[in-house]
Structure formats: C-alpha cells, structure tokens
Copies of this chain bind each other. A is one copy, B any other.
Amino acid sequence: MKGRLIKLINKFSDKIIQLAHGDGGLKTRQLIDHLLDKYLGNEVLSRLDDSSVIDIGPNKKLAFTTDSFVVDPIFFPGGDIGKLSICGTVNDLAASGAHPTAISLALILEEGLPVKHLEKILSSIKKTLDETGLNVITGDTKVVGRGNADSIFINTAGIGFIDDDYVISPEMIREGDTVIINGPIADHGLAILSQRQEFNFQADIESDCAPLASLVSDIKNASPNIHALRDATRGGLATVLCEIASRTLFDIEIFEDKIPVRSQSRGICEFLGMDPLYIANEGKMVIFVSSQDTDKVLDALKNNIYGRESKVIGKVSGKEKGSVFLNTQLGTRRLVDMHYSEQLPRIC
C-alpha cells in the first residue's frame, strides 16, 4: 500500500479505535501503514497479499494466512459464520496460487450461546471442509462472559503449498493484461445488510460465499499466464483494484457495463445510495491474465460451478500513477478511489 495514499495520510492521529478502522478501507490502511507497520513491519508482511508466501526449499513455497470472522448476524442467506470462516481462508490461500493443505480453527464463544447454534455452525464448517477436501488440524476454544463478545467469533489460519514455479503475484502484472471477475459483485454485503435490523428490507439475495480453490486450480491448468489473483472481500472490487494499482503503479481501466451486478442488487444499491463496487464479496476472485489467454481462462471459469457468470471487466493500461478509472455507461470516465469511511461494519 505504497504510492498515492501515503501522500494523503502520513500519520496516524486517531486517539481511539473506530468501526472504520476495521472496514478494509482507507482508515484500515492508515492503521496498518502507520501503526501496525511501525511495530511489526517486515518485508513479507508489508506485501499485504491475501496470503504470505515464504520459501521452504527448492521449488517449494509455503503460503500462510489468517482471518478473524465477526460477521453479524451469524446466520445469513447463503451461509453462516462457519462456512465463511473456511471459505475466507481457502480463498486467501488460493489467491496466492497455493494448494490449501490444512486449516486451524479458533473459537471465541460467548457464555449463553445456544449449543444448537454452535452445532449448526460446526456442521456448516464440516460441509465446506468436505467440499474442499481439507481438515482442521489444530484448534482452540475460549469462552468469555455474557456481554464480552457477540455470540461467536471465529479465527481460521491456513497453510498451503506452492509446488511449482508458477508465480502469482501483483508483481507479475503487465500492461495489457485482462481483468476478469468470476460473477456478480456485492451479493455477500447485501445479503448481510438485508438481515440487519436497521435496514431490514426484503430481498432474495444470497451471499456468494464459496470456496474457490478448485476454480483457481482450473484456471492455472488452463493458462500459464495468470499473473495475479485477489479475493475481493471487505472493501469490495474497488478497494482490491485500488490496492493493486497503487502497489504496481499500473493504471487499471474498468467498464461499468461489463461489471456483473444482479438487477436486484443494483436496485437496492440505488435505493440505499450505496456503490456495489465497494460492497463485500465472499466468493469473487479478481483475475489478472495476459490478454492472449483471456478466452482460455474464461472457458475454464465457465466450466466451474463458481465461475458460470464470469466476465471480462477491464484491462491494465500503462504504468502511470497507479490509478483506477471507471468508464461509465454514460460515457464518462471517473477516478475510483478507496473509501474513507465504512459502508458496513462486521460483514465478515
């Protein structure tokens, strides 16, 4: 997260932690760049990839990632905190090109949590693990008193191996690369939003929460020229593209009429004054591939259950200031930037 943002915010002046420090947007970046990095900074962490990758031997790399899940509510259309906690970590590993190998599961339970809720969550974790062929191999359980947590928080960490010399990283992005997404954006955030008391609107939107390891494996098999992958979760598609652009200094052009958004989602966003580009996904991979392999990769995506609605949404233009531009349906071209404050707390 170097480049332009640094100029906007060059110190951390907040005195107390706010919800916006956890939304994946600008204030989260500020917290990471100016506070966490001050104490924990090192070369691997500073890459801010979905997973960190370290060399562990000739032609063998290990990917390692962690995420805590605090989603509210814990059950939502299309999933629950259990499914989410496995998909999130599987997708972070997959985004680094790693084959997910094992997962850890750490539970923080609030005293009074109904055991049947815990069972439902564990059952959902098992179902997702079975789909991906993974096991939880280490775990931890803590319980805190009533009012000291909100029913259940889950942390998963994951490890995966990269056994080939197929490097997938923003550093591999080249001018002219195609940008693809594997389906409609904003479903997860809107599914959560539809369940919140303060909104409580009727919608048939389900979270897109899904484990994307097989999808990544399919596109790697289809093309040796996948350059970068990014899991577009908190902060949505816009935030992921801004991070990639800012880090590589490549400009990225995206086209509003190409970006898949369900008509119902679009309607809700217009009604609420929200931008789907910034709304969280939990089963969307942003794919940077060299342009000549675009069709091969699209074919592979469309043959995977989680890629049927894949679309080319943009391209990498020249190495300039690391900006993202949205070419709108009205024919205008506007700068896409990182949001300053959160659209939605606790969406994952």
Residues of B within 8 A of A109 (CB): 17, 21-22
A122 to B38, CA, bound (A): 9
A35 to B28, CA, bound (A): 36
A273 interface hit (Cβ, 8 Å): no
Whether B70 lies near A32 (C-beta < 8 A) is: no
Whether A68 lies near B142 (C-beta < 8 A) is: yes
Given the known interface contacts A45-B139, A137-B54, A159-B159, the answer about A67 and B106 at a Cβ–Cβ threshold of 8 Å is: yes
**Of B35, B62, B126, B148, which contacts A122 at CB under 8 A?**
B35
A22 to B111, CA, bound (A): 9
Residues of B within 8 A of A313 (CB): none
- Chain B nearest CB, measured from A27 CB (Å): 9
Interface size class of A (residues with CB under 8 A): 35 or more
Q: Flag the segment in A8-16, A174-182, A212-220, A259-267 that touches B.
A: A8-16
A22 to B148, CA, bound (A): 14
- Chain B nearest CB, measured from A80 CB (Å): 13
Residues of B within 8 A of A52 (CB): 102, 137-138
Interface residues of A in 18-35 (CB under 8 A from B): 18-23, 28, 31-32, 35
The chain A residues found within 8 Å of chain B, CB to CB, are 12, 14-23, 28, 31-32, 35-36, 38-40, 42, 44-45, 51-52, 54, 56-57, 60, 62, 64-70, 72, 101-102, 104-116, 118-119, 122-123, 125-126, 129, 135-145, 147-150, 153, 155, 157, 159, 161, 345-346
> Could you name 26 residue pairs across A and B whose Cβ atoms are closer than 8 Å?
A15-B115, A16-B114, A17-B114, A18-B111, A19-B143, A19-B145, A22-B143, A31-B141, A35-B122, A39-B119, A40-B105, A40-B122, A42-B136, A44-B102, A44-B137, A45-B135, A45-B138, A52-B137, A64-B157, A64-B159, A68-B107, A106-B155, A106-B157, A108-B108, A148-B149, A149-B149
